[in-house]
């Protein structure tokens, strides 16, 4: 299977939906399910492909419902993600695997830890989004995020109109412009990372693929993030590793610190000068190596 084929795989789930997924890294390596950010797709995994190869890890990155090659699923919760992933693992013949969730993929990574304790060996969350049902984590975010998640709490119709019909289409057509806006007010580390041609190209491809079927998946994610996640954090018994940049202005460090309070055995790795994009990209080797070393045997 060539690299293009590995990035564009599909399977049919029990309910008839199609699930798209990519594989990068070492095909014979330790399996890690990668939960992509928001709005993004399986192609985000390209950013850590070289690190996965060096660390002898097989990254399996599925599209969430409504993104890329995966069909939309109405009336789902974040916790339901475990049903799709366990079917994917069975399809690939993988009994146990580790999990790595980045940014908006953080809640989905925690859902796998909660719902699949017998299948998940280790869990790592990088710059993960925290629970938004309280006020502190919301207030720590920049005003566009506060506005968007505020609308997601109150009006699905308005959210679909503003983010689905207008912003979603704009980002799909001009992902480069969206990335440029992200650099405004971002730390130097993120500005440097986002302007690299290879990084910019990979991120634009991931976002464009995420929104290719429309913005329904992204709108649904915003609603799910802003409400109860559909699983209990208390169900998670395994140790969790969190990585977060102290300079992150997209998802502030307070999100990780609030989540980590739920896990007495959590390991929190803080980086003073790293941002939301520089950390998962530039420290991918370190993150993957630490995750694999933490595997519960």
Q: What is the DSSP string of 193-254?
A: HHTSHHHHHHHHHHHHHHHTT-SHHHHHHHHHHHS--SS-GGG--S-EEEEEETT-SSS-HH
The total of other beta-carbon atoms located within 10 Å of residue 161's CB is 14
Backbone phi, then psi, for 18, in 5-degree steps? -90, 135
Q: Residue 114 is encoded by which pair of tokens?
A: 């909660």
Task: Kindly report, residue by residue over 4-26, the tens digit of the pLDDT.
Answer: 899 999 999 999 999 999 999 99
DSSP character string of 249-261: SSS-HHHHHHHHT
Whole-number Å distance between alpha carbons of 281 and 279: 6
Whole-number Å distance between alpha carbons of 141 and 126: 17
Whole-number Å distance between alpha carbons of 273 and 279: 9
Whole-number Å distance between alpha carbons of 268 and 24: 26
Average confidence (pLDDT) over 222-228: 95
Query: CB-based burial of residue 19 (10 Å sphere; 0-12 exposed, 13-18 middle, 19+ buried)?
Result: buried
Q: Residue 51 to residues 54, 189, 247, 287, 289: CA-CA distances in angstroms?
A: 5, 19, 23, 9, 9
- Residue ranges per structural domain of the chain: 3-293
Residue 68 in contact with residue 209, Cβ under 8 Å? yes
pLDDT exceeds cutoff 90 at 69: yes
Task: Kindly report, residue by residue over 24-56, the tens digit of the pLDDT.
Answer: 999 999 999 999 999 999 999 999 999 999 999
Residue 217 in contact with residue 67, Cβ under 8 Å? yes
pLDDT exceeds cutoff 90 at 241: yes
DSSP state of 104: G
pLDDT given at position 165: 73
Whole-number Å distance between alpha carbons of 231 and 80: 9
Buried b (16+ CB within 10 A) or exposed e, 47-69: bbbebbbebebbbbbbbbbbbbb
Residue 82 in contact with residue 116, Cβ under 8 Å? yes
Query: CB-based burial of residue 285 (10 Å sphere; 0-12 exposed, 13-18 middle, 19+ buried)?
Result: middle
**3-state DSSP: the chain helix, strand, coil percent, rounded to 5?**
50, 15, 35
Q: pLDDT class for 86, splitting at 50, 70, 90?
A: very high
Q: Which CATH superfamily is domain 3-293 in?
A: Alpha/Beta hydrolase fold, catalytic domain (3.40.50.1820)
99: Cβ contacts below 8 Å, ≥ 6 apart:
32, 33, 35, 109, 112, 113, 120, 122, 123, 124
62: Cβ contacts below 8 Å, ≥ 6 apart:
19, 20, 21, 33, 42, 70, 84, 85, 88
DSSP state of 34: E
Average confidence (pLDDT) over 222-233: 94
Give the distance, in angstroms, between the CA of residue 164 and the centroid of all CA atoms in the same chain.
20
Q: pLDDT class for 296, splitting at 50, 70, 90?
A: low
Whole-prediction pTM = 0.96
Task: Kindly report, residue by residue over 121-142, the tens digit of the pLDDT.
Answer: 999 999 999 999 876 888 889 8
């Amino acid at each position: 299977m060539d690299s293009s084929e590995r990035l564009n795989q599909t399977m049919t789930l029990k309910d008839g939906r199609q699930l798209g997924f990519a594989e990068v890294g070492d095909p014979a390596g330790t399996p890690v399910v990668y939960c992509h950010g928001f709005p993004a797709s399986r192609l985000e995994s390209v950013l850590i492909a070289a690190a996965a190869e060096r660390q002898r890890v097989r990254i399996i990155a599925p599209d969430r419902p409504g993104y890329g090659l995966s069909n939309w699923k109405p009336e789902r919760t974040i916790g339901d993600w475990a049903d799709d992933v366990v079917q994917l693992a069975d399809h690939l013949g993988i009994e146990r695997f580790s999990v790595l969730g980045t940014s908006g993929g953080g809640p989905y990574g925690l859902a796998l830890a909660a719902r699949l304790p017998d299948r998940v060996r280790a869990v790592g969350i990088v710059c993960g989004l925290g629970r938004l049902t309280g006020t502190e984590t919301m207030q720590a975010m920049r005003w566009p995020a506060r506005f968007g998640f505020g609308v997601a709490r109150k009006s699905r119709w308005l959210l679909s109109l503003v983010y689905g019909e207008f912003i979603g289409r704009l980002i799909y057509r001009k992902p480069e412009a969206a990335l440029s806006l992200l650099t405004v007010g971002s730390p130097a580390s993120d500005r440097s990372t986002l302007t690299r041609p290879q990084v910019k190209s990979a991120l634009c491809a991931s976002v464009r693929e995420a929104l290719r079927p429309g913005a329904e998946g992204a709108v649904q994610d915003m609603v799910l993030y802003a409400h109860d996640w559909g699983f209990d954090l208390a169900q998670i018994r395994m140790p969790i590793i969190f990585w977060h940049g102290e300079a992150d202005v997209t998802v502030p460090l307070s999100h990780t610190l609030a989540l980590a309070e739920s896990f007495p055995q959590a390991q929190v790795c803080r980086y003073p000068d790293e941002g939301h994009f520089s950390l998962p990209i530039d420290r991918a080797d370190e993150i993957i190596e630490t995750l694999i070393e933490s595997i519960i045997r």
